[in-house]
Every structure is written in C-alpha cells, then in structure tokens.
C-alpha cells in the first residue's frame, strides 16, 4: 500500500519546486534572438539580478549550472599561480577550491568543520600573517548545502578589513540568495555567484555572477580568462555575445517570471517566510531529537541556515527513512552528502515553499520515524504548528488561547503568548 499518489513534494535543497507560473512562462515557442522581446528580457533580468544581489556592479548570466558560475568567478579575476584562501564549512567551498586548483591556482584551505561556521577571528589571524599579500582571493559559501551552516558574511568581511588585507572577497550564494539577506555592496563582497535552481525557483541550467568594481579591475589583468566565461566578451554591444552564443531563451522566460514573483512578494517578506518555515522545521526536529536518535548537524543554533536543515541520524541508515518518505508518502527528502553521506538527511525549506508544504513534509518525516520505529519525541509537527501560530498571529487577537486553545498539545508546547494570564 502506498499513499504517494497525488502531487509529489520535492524537499531537496536544489533543484527546488518550480512554481506553475514559471513553468507556464516557459511553455511557448522559441523566438528571434537578434532583436525584439528577448533583448528586453535580457536587459531586465540583468538589471533585476542587481536588485537581488544588492549591487551597483555588473551581472552576468551563464547557460551553466552553479559550477559554471564558480569557474566564471575564478577565471575572470585570477591568474595562474595566484593563491586563494578557502574557508570551508562543509562540502562546497572546498569543491570550489578544487576547481581553482585544477586551473593552476594555489589553494590554501583553512582548517574547517561540517559542524561549525567559519571563524572570522581565524580568518583575520591568517590574513594578518600574509604580510606579502600573496592571497589574492578569499572563497566562502554563505550557506553550505551539505552541512546546512549559514556563515556570517559581514563578520568575515570585517575580519578581512581588520587584517587590512586586499584579497578579493568571493561569496557563493547559490543556496542562500533569495532566501536570506545578501547585501553585496553593503557587505563589501567583490564577487557573488548563484544558480537558478534554488532560491530563484527556476529550473537548473542558468547561473549568475555579480562583480563589483575591485573584481572588474582585477579582470583587466587576469590571465585565466577564457573566451566562453570572459566578462569583456559579454560586455559587447551584440546581444548574442552576452551569452557567448544562442541565449537559453526558455530558461530566461522562466527566470523573468520567477523574479517577478519574488518582487511581487517583496524580498523582506521572502526572507521572513524562509525564516519562519525554517524555524518551524527546527522546532519539529528539536522535539524529535528528544528520542535520542536524531540531532542537528549544526551545533550553534545561530549558524543554522534558513534554506536547508541537515539532520544527523544515528544507528540507522537514513536511506530507509528516505525510502519510506518517498515510496509510501510521496515526499522526497535530501540525502546526506560529502562527509555526511549515509549519516544524515536534509530537509529543504528553500524557494517556492509554504506552510502546507512544510507541514506536509514534517508530517511525513514524523510518520516515517514512527513507522520505522526510530526513537523520537512525539509532537514535532505540533511544535511546527505552534511556531506558525506564534509567528503569524491573527490581528487583534491577544488572548491566552492564541496558540490553539487549551488541550494537551498546547500544554506540551512552550508558552508563546504570555499576556492575558
Ligand atoms: C548547489 C550548490 C552548488 C553547485 O551548484 P550546481 O548548480 O550543482 O553546479 C554550489 N554551491 C552551493 C552552496 C550549492 O548549494
């Protein structure tokens, strides 16, 4: 017997659920590439990406996944033999570093952990020691999708400044852009990279790079530049050159609609929605963790991302849980990756997600835990409900029953509305 028939919920941290409006925007014939509406689509997407990255700098669109944006960021700004400092907090910054090494860049990795965010003080200390200025760039991810760590990007910028170091600051926002604040100019980020298929709710296949003034200056002398990724090639007057060939039209139609949806909701509301959905997820996990088998991978609550949560599972193969959730209940959860392969599962709360999708996903996790006899505290979903009630109160309602009225479930949850007693 299975209960999976009906709409499947994709709760993996990318690709994420594509809104119907975005799918519909792509469902049209191809159009002329040298003139007409497509040129306006490009112009408006490049412009609106600056609003998303929060920069006055330049933006570039690549027909590539996130790895393409990584290569574009490196090859446009660096030269063979340059040293970069990689700040790990999981899988992705070291992977970016591996790519840099393959291009002839000297890669130095700071000691790192999947359980702790990057330590700005250690970054400051390392950069202070680099009196010769050998380090040309610092590479970090805002949210590591394997560990679910959210790094404090402004604090790392302050560390670079405190050391008086001139390295370019390059930030991978692939799993964080449009899910939490990212202030490229205000935070002194020189290069930002992202992909289409996570917070931006568009199918995989597009990626984006934003470059500030210092990065554009470095570009002038970078010797790793290659024709396909080269910013200068893409700056030319010919629209065709902006993509180094045929534009990925349908993905652009989808992106245009996704950007419209984000601005319609308003970025602050988008961030707040993610925060609340993530908090509800964390409340549920905290309850389940009382059974002793599950725990948060990220130790510091302040470093837990609002786009994805990695849950460690001890004594059981997470694949069992994922199989039950998918095959019986129709929810696809994320597997553990990198160092957490076979040790964890991931719940995404990223992009086009809302309360029923999260309650459904969390309900299925709790169902799966129970069905498989994995020890867990009961009432995780109730804790998520209480979180929503607390986060989105009904206007004008101020009585003590605001969290759902009297009853056993309410008694089990922490008090949320003190007034009125
Ligand atoms: C998904 C992801 C990548 C890789 O993106 P691809 O599109 O798979 O190449 C890189 N960094 C982070 C933080 C990611 O989440």
Rounded Cα distance, 202 and 212, in Å:
25
Q: Is the pLDDT of residue 45 over 80?
A: yes
pLDDT surpassing 60 at residue 372 = yes
Q: Which range among 60-69, 159-168, 303-312, 388-397 shows the weakest confidence by mean pLDDT?
A: 388-397
According to the model, what pLDDT value does residue 395 have? 86
Residue 410 pLDDT: 40
Q: pLDDT value at position 150?
A: 98
**What is the average pLDDT value for the chain, to the nearest integer?**
94
CATH code for residues 9-14+266-391: 3.90.1150.10
Tell me, using a 6 A CB cutoff, whether residue 141 lines ligand 1. yes
pLDDT tens digits, residue range 295-323?
Answer: 999 999 999 999 999 999 998 999 999 99
Residues 6+ apart with CB under 8 A from 209: 59, 60, 62, 69, 72, 73, 76, 191, 192, 193
Closest CA to 88 of 104, 103, 107: 107
Rounded (5°) CA angle 104-55-308:
75
- For the segment 285-291, the average pLDDT, to the nearest whole number, is 98
Which atom of ligand 1 is least distant from the CA of 92? 11
- Average pLDDT (329-343) is 98
31-263 belongs to CATH 3.90.1150.10? no
Q: Compute, in angstroms, the gap from residue 308 CA to the centroid of ligand 1.
A: 13
**Cα separation, 273 vs 306, whole angstroms:** 9
Ligand 1 pocket check for 140: Cβ under 6 Å? no
Residue 248, sorted as left (phi over 0), alpha (psi -120 to 50) or beta, turns out to be beta
Q: Is-same-fold flag (9-14+266-391; 31-263)?
A: no
Question: What is the predicted pLDDT for the residue at 363?
Answer: 98
* Nearest in space to 347 (alpha carbons), one of 402, 288, 387: 288
Q: What does the pLDDT average to over 350-368?
A: 98
Rounded Cα distance, 110 and 112, in Å: 6
Is it the case that residue 270 has pLDDT exceeding 50? yes
Ligand 1, residues 87, 96, 141, 174: which to mutate, most atoms within 8 A of Cβ?
Answer: 174
Q: Is the pLDDT of residue 274 over 90?
A: yes
For the stretch 167-216, pLDDT in tens is 999 999 999 999 999 999 999 999 999 999 999 999 999 999 999 999 99
For the entire predicted model, the pTM comes to 0.94
How far is ligand 1, taken at its centre, from the CA of residue 293, in Å? Answer: 29
Taking the centre of ligand 1 as the mean of its atom positions, its distance from the CA of residue 359, in whole angstroms, is 26
Atom 6 (ligand 1) nearest CA? 66
pLDDT given for residue 399 in this prediction: 60
pLDDT tens-place string over residues 226-255: 999 999 999 988 999 999 999 999 999 999
What is the distance in A from the centroid of ligand 1 to the CA of 122?
Answer: 25
Dist. CA 90–CA 389, nearest whole Å = 33
71 lines ligand 1 (CB under 6 A): no
First CA to last CA distance, the chain: 48
User: Which residue ranges make up each domain of the chain?
Assistant: 9-14+266-391, 31-263
Residue 403 has pLDDT above 90, yes or no: no
What mean pLDDT comes out for the span 73-86? 98
pLDDT at position 407 is 40
Interatomic CA distance for residues 131 and 125, integer angstroms: 11
> What gap in Å lies between CA 48 and CA 67, rounded to an integer?
22
Predicted local distance difference test score (pLDDT) of residue 402: 46
Percent of the chain with pLDDT over 90: 93
């Amino acid at each position: 017997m299975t209960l999976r028939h009906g709409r499947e919920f994709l709760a993996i941290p990318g690709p994420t659920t594509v809104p119907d409006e975005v799918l519909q925007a792509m469902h049209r014939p191809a159009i002329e590439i040298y003139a007409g509406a497509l040129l306006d689509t490009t112009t408006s997407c490049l412009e609106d990406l600056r609003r998303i990255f929060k920069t006055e700098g330049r933006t570039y669109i690549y027909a590539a996944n996130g790895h393409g944006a990584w290569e574009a960021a490196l090859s446009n700004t660096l030269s063979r033999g340059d040293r970069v400092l990689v700040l790990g907090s999981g899988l992705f910054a070291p992977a970016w570093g591996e790519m840099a090494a393959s291009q002839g860049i000297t890669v130095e990795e700071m000691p790192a952990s999947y359980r702790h965010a990057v330590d700005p003080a250690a970054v400051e200390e390392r950069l202070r020691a680099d009196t010769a200025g050998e380090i040309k760039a610092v590479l970090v991810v805002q949210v590591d999708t394997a560990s679910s760590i959210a790094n404090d990007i402004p604090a790392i910028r302050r560390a670079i400044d405190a050391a008086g170091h001139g390295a370019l600051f390059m930030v991978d926002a692939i799993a964080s852009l449009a899910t939490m604040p990212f202030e490229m100019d205000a935070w002194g980020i020189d290069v930002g990279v992202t992909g289409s298929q996570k917070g931006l709710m568009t199918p995989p296949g597009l990626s984006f790079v934003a470059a500030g003034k210092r990065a554009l200056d470095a570009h002038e002398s970078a010797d790793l530049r290659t024709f396909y990724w080269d910013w200068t090639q893409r700056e030319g007057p010919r629209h065709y050159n902006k993509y180094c060939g045929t534009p990925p039209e349908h993905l652009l139609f989808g992106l245009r609609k996704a950007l419209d949806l984000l601005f319609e909701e308003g970025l602050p509301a988008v961030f707040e929605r993610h925060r609340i959905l993530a908090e509800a997820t964390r409340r549920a996990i905290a309850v389940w963790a009382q059974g002793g088998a599950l725990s948060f991978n990220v130790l510091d609550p302040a470093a837990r991302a609002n786009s994805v949560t990695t849950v460690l599972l001890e004594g059981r193969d997470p694949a069992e849980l994922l199989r039950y959730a998918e095959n019986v209940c129709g929810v696809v959860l994320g597997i553990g990756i990198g160092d957490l392969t076979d040790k964890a599962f991931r719940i995404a709360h990223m992009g086009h997600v809302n309360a029923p999708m999260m309650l459904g996903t969390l309900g299925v996790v709790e169902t799966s835990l129970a069905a498989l006899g994995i020890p867990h505290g009961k009432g995780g979903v109730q804790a998520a409900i209480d979180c929503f009630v607390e986060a989105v109160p009904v206007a004008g309602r101020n009585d003590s029953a605001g969290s759902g009225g009297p009853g056993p479930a309410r008694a089990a949850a922490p008090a949320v509305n003190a007034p009125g007693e």
